[in-house]
Amino acid sequence: MVTIKSGREIEAMRKAGKLAAHCLTDMLKLVKPGVTPLQIDRACYEWTKAHGAVPAPLHYHGFPASLCISVNDVVCHGIPGTRALKKGDLVNLDVTPILDGFHGDTNATTVVGAAKSSDMPPELSRLIETTHRSMWDGIRQVRPGSTLGDIGHAIQTRVEGAGYSVVLEYCGHGIGRAFHEDPTVSHVGKPGQGMKLREGMTFTIEPMVNMGERHIYVEEDGWTVRTSDGSLSAQFEHTILVTPTGFEVLTLREGESISE
């Protein structure tokens, strides 16, 4: 069942989203050669606690960490471990603090040791840029009366046009008091098809894009999702509110523009 947020709930979602953006910004600063994902996880736990919030991933259906850290061919749900990050690793951080009962969910992909895109190998820069732009293509479709298919189609068009593939098994989702609510937001689709969007809906858009084939598998730990062909994978995510005339990005980071 899709929940339409009241004015009070929207304000609570704004606060949770702002906190998530702040958390992701600070955790990305820790992504450096020699740092372990487990160290970032511990920092995320302490950071979230210090800001009066709770890390939603921790113990969620048994997940053992406070954030997901997915490296190289890991698509999503990477469990932070002790292998130190090295220069050139492709790393996604996915954070979801719960503040006053509401969730803010956001993630971003970066390259270890690269301060800007020009520092990255061209193949990584292109994958990251395509994934990032595809998320924004989907976000720009959001307005009352548009459909989930409009979002998916915009993302799919960008990704497949660049020669990459969209992961089908994992999607965006409704969010609010619950971590995962209706609707399911697919990152592929056809214009005009699927549920129509309504003012007050909140959900994530979070395309997972593989450099190779779309096929994936889940490791024996029950969480870590990898590309079947070992190709690299990138992802970006924002939490979105449907407004009377369009959209509001609740997890927009400082200095980040909606025109990107």
Q: What percent of the chain has pLDDT over 70?
A: 99
More confident residue, 256 or 239: 239
The span from the CA of 59 to the CA of 1, in Å, is: 24
The span from the CA of 166 to the CA of 153, in Å, is: 11
For the chain, the residue count is 260
Measured N-to-C along each axis, helices 122-139 and 148-161 cross at an angle, to the nearest 10 degrees, of: 160
The span from the CA of 158 to the CA of 78, in Å, is: 25
Of the candidates 214, 238, 240, 241, the residue with the CA atom closest to the CA atom of residue 227: 214
Mean pLDDT in residue range 74-96: 98
What confidence tens digit (pLDDT) does each residue in 176-206 have? 999 999 999 999 999 999 999 999 999 999 9
Q: How many CB atoms lie within 10 A of CB 40?
A: 24
* Three-class DSSP category at 153: helix
pLDDT, residue 77, reads 98
pLDDT, residue 260, reads 53
pLDDT, residue 259, reads 57
What confidence tens digit (pLDDT) does each residue in 29-61 have? 999 999 999 999 999 999 999 999 999 999 999
Element (H, E) at 181: strand 181-185
Element (H, E) at 166: strand 165-166
Listed in sequence order, the DSSP H helices in the chain are 7-28, 37-50, 122-139, 148-161
What pairing do the DSSP bridges indicate for beta strands 97-99 and 172-174? unpaired
pLDDT, residue 116, reads 78
Cis peptide before 37 (omega within 30 of 0): no
Show the tokens assigned to 98. Answer: 């719960």
Mean pLDDT in residue range 125-148: 98
Write down the mean pLDDT value for the chain: 97
The span from the CA of 233 to the CA of 225, in Å, is: 10
Mean pLDDT in residue range 234-248: 98
What pairing do the DSSP bridges indicate for beta strands 74-76 and 54-55? unpaired
Domains along the chain with CATH numbers:
7-249 (3.90.230.10)
166 with 160: CB under 8 angstroms?
yes
